[in-house]
């Protein structure tokens, strides 16, 4: 069994044909956990092997995700299973309930292998801000994995599971998907319940996942999405499963914003020329499939990043105020450097005399960003953009320069400010490093994005290129964290 190439759909088909069992798949995933977990720093908690095998043996194969191994980002509350949020301040916290998404996945038959490493509290786009050390890129372990859902992406790429859950507040699913050659969904705000997820910035947090293929991604969303009485922000919009009948994109209009390209060139260290070429090739592939490329204007892209880094720290300051060492874990001195930085920025922005100048003004700009996207979608079906201005940096390259790390989010944060949907797709390689693109759609347009993404995926088939891990030494990378 080639677990690195096996998709959810193929696994379910294999179960039905009795080619292999859930036990076989779970054992293979656990074997890869033993081989690569320490070397790549992927999982913070791994469930007991005997317990997992017992669960796999009792799988009800009539369920939609029966016997499918999943790794959960460690922001997801899991009943009687340690949940750290990548932060040592709560490294002994064991919830007594499941997040709504976790409950739905369990009910669908999915098997939880463990909890994934991440930037602490979701604060980061590289995976380097974890209090437990950085996760390493599946395709080159000297480079970052992307964040904040770093471990979830690498776990899928290294065959530790068949899909991973994540959260996306400003690119935290799309970035690790791009850096690890995966499909990553940032759903419409309110599409998936946030109940039971450790909050970062509550008005921007979205709950999604990473998979190997578009079809797998659509299947998982059909299970996790929907109205939840425990989350008042969820919506009653129906969740239609994408049909994937389109083999071309004739009749569809895809927008390209010159503001996105311009702001990418202004970033530090600036948009990578090779990545720009890969992005242009991806756009030509969409055009070759029949899509009409249309220029759209998103004039408030430039202030969107600054706005994001006013609003998000403000909400972080509020959300992390509860971790005082009385009800949870350790004292506040245990917070990592990035968490402290964001809390101080947020507290300042919300303080008397500065609230109107920063937070209130930021909310006004956010409205303008949302309006930009609403107007653009009046003339196009989706908008095309890169995910990052450059391939995955080497670990440590930007760790001493928070501004450079923040600027890596330039293509992703406007989508969260607007509350719309985005689907990250593999788009090729620069050397041995994967890079990605994203398709952005209006609210509740996930089905359309999947159909476009599927046509592109079938044309390019980048998902078939797997990590070259021959250089890894299992004898030096054994054991669970």
Catalytic residue list: 73, 148, 172
What are residue 192's DSSP bridge partners? 225
8 Å CB contact between 415 and 166: no
What are residue 254's DSSP bridge partners? 293, 382
| Tokens 């599971």 found at | 161
User: Strand 253-256 relative to strand 183-186: parallel, antiparallel, unpaired?
Assistant: unpaired
Please tell me the distance from the alpha carbon of residue 49 to that of residue 215, in angstroms, as a whole number: 29
8 Å CB contact between 389 and 275: yes
- Of the candidates 75, 77, 239, which has an alpha carbon nearest to the alpha carbon of residue 151? 75
Reported as type and span, the H/E element at residue 382 is strand 382-386
Please tell me the distance from the alpha carbon of residue 266 to that of residue 302, in angstroms, as a whole number: 10
Computed on alpha carbons and rounded to an integer, the radius of gyration of the chain in Å comes to 21
For 254, the token pair is 């895809």
DSSP symbol at 180: T
Please tell me the distance from the alpha carbon of residue 72 to that of residue 117, in angstroms, as a whole number: 9
Residues in the chain: 481
| Tokens 């193929």 found at | 10
Helix (H, G, I), strand (E, B) or coil at 308: helix
Helix axes 301-319, 361-376, angle to 10 degrees: 130
Q: Report how far apart, in Å, the C-alpha atoms of 135 and of each of 38, 42, 66, 199 are.
A: 10, 6, 29, 21
């Amino acid at each position: 069994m080639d677990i690195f190439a096996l998709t959810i759909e193929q696994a379910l088909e294999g179960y039905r044909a009795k080619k292999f069992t859930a036990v076989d798949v779970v054992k293979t995933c656990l074997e890869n956990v033993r081989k690569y977990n320490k070397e790549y720093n992927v999982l913070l908690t791994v469930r007991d092997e005997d317990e997992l095998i017992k669960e796999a043996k009792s799988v009800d194969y009539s369920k939609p995700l029966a016997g499918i191994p999943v790794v959960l980002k460690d922001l997801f509350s899991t009943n009687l299973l340690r949940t750290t949020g990548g932060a040592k301040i709560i490294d002994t916290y064991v919830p007594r309930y499941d997040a709504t998404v976790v409950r739905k996945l369990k009910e669908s038959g999915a098997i939880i292998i463990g909890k994934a490493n991440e930037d602490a509290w979701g604060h980061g786009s590289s995976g380097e801000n974890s209090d437990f050390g950085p996760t390493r890129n599946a395709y080159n372990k000297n480079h970052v994995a992307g964040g904040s859902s770093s471990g979830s992406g690498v776990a899928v790429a290294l065959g530790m599971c068949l899909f991973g859950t994540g959260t996306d507040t400003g690119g935290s699913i799309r970035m690790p998907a791009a850096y690890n050659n995966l499909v990553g969904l940032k759903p419409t705000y309110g599409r998936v319940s946030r109940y039971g997820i450790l909050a970062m910035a509550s008005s921007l947090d979205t709950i999604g996942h990473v998979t190997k293929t578009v079809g797998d991604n659509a299947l998982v969303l059909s299970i996790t999405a929907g109205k939840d009485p425990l989350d008042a922000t969820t919506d009653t919009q129906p969740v239609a499963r994408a049909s994937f009948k389109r083999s071309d994109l004739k009749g569809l209009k895809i927008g390209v914003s010159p503001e996105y390209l311009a702001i990418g060139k202004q970033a530090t260290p600036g948009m990578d020329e090779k990545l720009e070429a890969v992005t242009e090739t991806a756009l030509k592939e969409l055009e070759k499939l029949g899509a009409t490329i249309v220029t759209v204007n998103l004039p408030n892209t430039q202030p969107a990043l600054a706005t994001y880094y006013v609003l998000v720290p403000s909400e972080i300051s509020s959300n992390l105020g509860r971790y005082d060492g009385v009800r949870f874990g350790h004292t506040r001195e245990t917070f990592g450097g990035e968490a402290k930085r964001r809390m101080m920025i947020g507290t300042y922005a919300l303080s008397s005399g500065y609230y109107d100048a920063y937070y209130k003004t930021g909310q006004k700009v956010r409205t303008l960003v949302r309006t930009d996207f609403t107007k653009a979608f009046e003339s196009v079906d989706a908008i095309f953009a890169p995910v990052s201005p450059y391939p995955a940096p080497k670990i440590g390259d930007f760790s001493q320069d928070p501004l450079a790390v923040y600027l890596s989010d330039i293509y992703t944060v406007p989508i969260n400010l607007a509350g719309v949907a985005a689907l990250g797709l593999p788009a090729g390689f620069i050397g041995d490093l994967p890079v990605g693109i994203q398709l952005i759609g209006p609210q509740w347009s996930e089905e359309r994005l999947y159909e476009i993404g599927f046509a592109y995926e079938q044309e390019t088939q980048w998902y078939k290129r797997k990590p070259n891990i021959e250089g890894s030494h299992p004898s030096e990378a054994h054991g669970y964290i």
